[in-house]
Structure 1
Amino acid sequence: MIIKPGDFNDAQIRELLRQHLQGMAETSPPGHSFALDLSGLQRPDVTFLSVWDGETLLAIGAIKELAADHGELKSMRTRKDNLRRGAATAMLNALLNLARERGYRRISLETGSGEAFEPALALYRKHGFKSGDAFADYVGSEFNQFLHLDLA
Structure 2
Amino acid sequence: MLLSRSCEYALQAVIYLAAKTKDTPIFQQNISRALNIPPHFLGKILQVLTHHQIVTSRKGKKGGFLLAKPSEAIYLYDIIKVIDGPNFLDRCVLGFPGCSDTSPCPVHIEWIKAKKIIIDMLSNRTIEELSRSIDIKLNFIESLSQG
TM above 0.5, yes or no, is no
Flag the structure with higher helix content: 2
Flag the structure with higher strand content: 1
- Considering Cα pairs closer than 8 Å and 6+ residues apart, tell me whether 1 or 2 has the greater RCO: 2
Q: TM-score, normalised by structure 1?
A: 0.26
Q: TM-score, normalised by structure 2?
A: 0.27
